[in-house]
Amino acid sequence: MERSLPVVTVPARRARKPVAIPAGDRELATLAKAIAHPARVAIVRLLAGSGECFCGGIADRIPLAQSTVSQHLKVLKDAGLVKGELDPPRVCYCIDPNTLARLKTLVTGL
């Protein structure tokens, strides 16, 4: 005698309406991701306090290899928090005050 399994009905899923994510939330997420590492927070603090600095100068003040500092600066630069100006053979980095102010505004609005 073969046993039959009970039939289970699953209620139909309601279609979800797409939720629009505000541009400010996307911007905050991008900036938050950029400063989501303690070394990048330290770099932002250093640049915000000192004005501008070369990668080697930052590496002298933060206990990281220059190549690691350079990678963190790239993340910050890609997010717009840091600007870099070529001063051959080095790059001089500085904080972008407008983007930093925007980050503060977005965080305050949470």
For the segment 42-58, what is each residue's pLDDT rounded down to a tens digit?
999 999 998 778 888 88
**Percentage of residues of the chain with pLDDT beyond 90:** 55
Of residues 74, 81, 78, the one with CA closest to residue 99: 81
pTM: 0.77
**24-108: CATH topology:** Arc Repressor Mutant, subunit A (1.10.10)
Query: Bridge-partner residues for 87, per DSSP?
Result: 90
What's the mean per-residue pLDDT of the chain?
Answer: 88
The yes-or-no verdict on residue 61 having pLDDT over 70 is yes
Q: At residue 90, does pLDDT exceed 90?
A: no
pLDDT band at 65 (very low <50, low <70, confident <90, very high): very high
Residue 1, pLDDT score: 57
